[in-house]
Chain A
């Protein structure tokens, strides 16, 4: 069961609206390496993991990723706040505006809609944990790409923080993989 806490995990700030940056950042909302992919991937995998530790890690990281999705949404919201329609068009957001107005939507930076094919679940714990570790690296890489795309120090603060979380998640999944490997080894002796 999920409870919503009426508070964002990190204090998101922007120096000024920037619709072009909003267009880039939306990829971490609904793109392949974004927070929706991450949270759904982990929250889905947890049901059929063989150990409680794996179920715990996947539940807890999956839940934090939902919080990160809110952070990305808040960044996009603040970067578009009060932006006039001419600036929306100039930032190449006209296509998005036609279908969605100023609403957020799950798409990558090119407007390609989110798809479940972005997330995998093979029920092989070794494969699945490697998928998770790869996902965290990819998310880290994308945050680094986004950091290159802005000079706004406040936006950079939030992107840097999200990037660091990916590094920590990678670490936790690595540890979980080691435990799963031990567990699978033990099973062979029965």
Chain B
């Protein structure tokens, strides 16, 4: 299985999630910033869509009940693992 399609989708998710992390930290010290709040929810929405598309093809990004297991195998344990992905 080629990792380049997977890597590409992951890069898009990484960009969105990084924006979410940044906004999260900013909101921790600026909890009433309405602009940041609105932007955070926008990012959340887009991130969710990207994650759903990714998971349909490559399996769960989260475990412990947060992502749905797909197909008929527990591919959470399958390769590649995050440090093995070639970007």
Q: Which residues of A contact B (CB under 8 A)?
A: 3-13, 53, 56-57, 60-61, 64, 70, 73-74, 77-78, 168-169, 172, 175-176, 179
Contacts and interface: CB of A to CB of B under 8 A. Distances in A.
B22 interface: yes
Interface residues of B, number: 29
A12 B81 CA distance: 13
A168 B22 CA distance: 9
Given A7-B14, A11-B87, A77-B83, A172 B25 contact: yes
Contacts of A172: 25-26, 28-29
A74 B82 contact: yes
A17 to B, nearest CB: 13
Given A3-B63, A13-B86, 5 more contacts: A4-B62, A5-B61, A57-B28, A172-B28, A179-B29
Nearest to B80: A6
Interface of B: 7, 10-11, 13-14, 17-18, 21-22, 24-26, 28-31, 60-64, 66, 76, 81-83, 85-87
Contacts of A12: 83, 87
A55 to B, nearest CB: 9
A57 B29 contact: yes
Contacts of B24: 60
Contacts of B31: 53
Contact of A60 (B28, B82, B87): B28
A72 B49 CA distance: 29
In the A-B complex, the 10 residue pairs with the smallest Cβ-Cβ separation, listed nearest first, are A11-B87, A74-B83, A175-B29, A8-B82, A56-B28, A57-B28, A13-B87, A77-B83, A6-B61, A172-B25
Nearest to B58: A6
A10 B22 contact: no
Nearest to A57: B28
A7 B18 contact: no
A9 B17 contact: yes
Contact of B61 (A7, A13, A56, A61): A7
